[in-house]
Amino acid sequence: MELRQLRYFLKAKELLNFTEAAAALNISQSTLSQQVKQLEDELNIPLFNRIGKRITVTEAGHLFSEYALQSINRANEGLLLLRDLKNLNTGKITIGVIYSMRILFAKILIRFANQYPNIQIKVVFGTTKDLLERLNQHHFDFILTFHDEPLEPHLKYQTLLKANMVLVTARNSSLAHKATISLQEVAELPLALPFSGNNSIQFFDESFGQKNLVPNICMEINDIPTLFEIVKSGRWHTILSETSVNDPDVAAIPIDGKNMRRTIRIISLREAYEKKAVTKFCEMLTEI
């Protein structure tokens, strides 16, 4: 059984057409058909039903495809491991980041890119829920997010920092002078909050609920810079992690309560090979 046979099989399964699969692989149809047939002979079971020029995947083909894909992925990880020995002269990393970490993350991103200019970096911002789902689908090398929930055994966690949750108000607001503010006071204010899919807001829904408080939510917005513009009008306030706040025209007031600190973690797939570039990036993050 050869890796190329597995690749040919997976492409044929994807396109359900030997001619199109062969064209996509830049080989002849006869070569593809021959290699797939040899694979079926070795497995002693058909992977495709051949009906004229049409093909369909057999039950065995569906089951085997999962293992074939794992074999291809593991082989690719082995190649990555070898390439990483070349002192980070090439490579690509993909990182998922929550909006609340964009300021601190940007500083590390600039530092890493300056030190390793040949590494291609892709950054995707999103909510904790979206980032975790995409991490489990192997879309990211790692994600940077809030995570206070029970730890999943298939994931690798590294605690980065603890962040206070704060009420963000206009710098000229009558509240701006306060050293702290209670959750009850916050609930009575007109609030413009991040979109409900945001992990921080799920956290506060639970916090308000535990104290039987109903917050006065006037707006939900999935863009933090827009939230700041709304807050600076002086009419509305928002709730964010202190790591989000760097605007001179707003003030951040810590919210009272022992549970008003969130844990920010670096999360990756435990069984996935960790690229050398990822290791270096995470080392820089931990220096925060």
Calpha distance 38→15 (Å, rounded): 20
Average pLDDT in the 102-122 region? 93
Residue 250 has pLDDT above 60, yes or no: yes
Residue 181 has pLDDT above 80, yes or no: yes
CB of 59 closer than 8 Å to CB of 106: no
pLDDT at 87: 67
CB burial of 165-196 (b: ≥16 within 10 Å; e: otherwise) equals: bbbbbbeebeeeeeeebebeebbebebbbbee
**DSSP states of 157-187:** EEEEEEEEEEEEEETTSTTTT-S-B-HHHHH
**DSSP states of 31-86:** HHHHHHHHHHHHHTS-SEEEETTEEEE-HHHHHHHHHHHHHHHHHHHHHHHHHGGG
CB neighbours of 77 closer than 8 A, spacing ≥ 6? 272, 273
**Average per-residue pLDDT for the chain:** 89
Residue 21 has pLDDT above 80, yes or no: yes
Residue 140 has pLDDT above 60, yes or no: yes
Q: Taking Cα atoms as reference points, which of 87, 62, 63, 92 lies closest to residue 76?
A: 92
Confidence of residue 27 (pLDDT cuts 50, 70, 90): very high
CB of 266 closer than 8 Å to CB of 93: no
Confidence of residue 7 (pLDDT cuts 50, 70, 90): very high
Q: Spell out the domains of the chain, with CATH numbers in brackets.
A: 3-85 (1.10.10.10), 86-161+263-286 (3.40.190.10), 163-261 (3.40.190.290)
pLDDT at 201: 63
pTM of the model: 0.65
Confidence of residue 211 (pLDDT cuts 50, 70, 90): confident
Average pLDDT in the 224-247 region? 91
Pairing between β-strand 250-254 and β-strand 92-98 as defined by DSSP bridges: unpaired
pLDDT at 40: 94
For the ranges 89-103, 156-170, 247-261, the maximum mean pLDDT occurs at 156-170
